[in-house]
Amino acid sequence: MAWGRWWQVAAALLLMWATVGTAQAAAPVTLGGGSGIIFDDGSTCTLTTIGFDGSGQLVGFTAGHCAVAGAGVSAEADQEAGSVGTVAFTSTDLDYAVIRFDAGLVNPVNYVGSTSITGVGLPAQFPAVACKEGRTTGQTCGLVYGDVFGGANWTLTQICVIVGDSGAPVVVGSTLVAIVNGYVAVPCVGPQVGANFTRILDDVNSRGGPGVGFHPI
């Protein structure tokens, strides 16, 4: 082989080695309670919380009306990363969904924006003040009206929510007490209604599957 040709081949092989050697896997996306998430059909909601269930699986929650079981989930802030999880189950009764995340693709955190989640607590009661962290309206706070419907499933608050805030965590301090499911009559003005998170966990634990024994990050 001519020397000129030999050096061309050697240089090409060196370039290939350098390219392979410096290639890096995509960084995990960061998700926590209050992060925006996008589903296969393009709908956008808010992640309630993220953590591990009793089997060590990384799971999260959002509102059940956001997507159907089997739908892929991506992070709104890093859509180029593609799907990082799948909706494992949806409840029409309590309007919540369990998401199974790929732990290798997600960096779970317990804070988003101005909201931190350090634990799960019993439903808030009047006249407490609760706050939510939504992907559309950020953190907003308001008076808790409590369980005005009876049945211990739902809590009403005077928290501003609009489209896209569905699934947002409702906290008192840093304690997760409910999720955002909707509003009564007028967006941001009408009372917000949300399922109590301890009731959701009771339902998950009685049903079995992903999410059983959940605890937030």
Class of residue 94 by CB neighbours under 10 A (exposed 0-12, middle 13-18, buried 19+)? buried
Strands 138-146 and 129-134: antiparallel
pTM passes above 0.75: yes
Both ends of the chain: CA-CA distance in Å? 62
pLDDT for position 18: 36
| Per-residue confidence in pLDDT tens, the chain, 217 aa | 444 443 343 333 333 333 344 445 578 999 999 999 999 999 999 999 999 999 999 999 999 999 999 999 999 999 999 999 999 999 999 999 999 999 999 999 999 999 999 999 999 999 999 999 999 999 999 999 999 999 999 999 999 999 999 999 999 999 999 999 999 999 999 999 999 999 999 999 999 999 999 999 9
User: What's the rounded Cα separation, in Å, for the pair 91 and 64?
Assistant: 6
8 Å CB contact between 115 and 139:
yes
Per-residue model confidence (pLDDT) at position 9: 37
CA atoms within 13 A on the CB side of 135: 23
**Is-cis flag, bond preceding 127, omega within 30?**
yes
Number of other CB atoms surrounding residue 60 within 10 Å: 29
Establish how many alpha carbons lie within 13 A of residue 51's alpha carbon, considering only the half-sphere containing its beta carbon.
20
What does the pLDDT read at residue 27?
A: 81
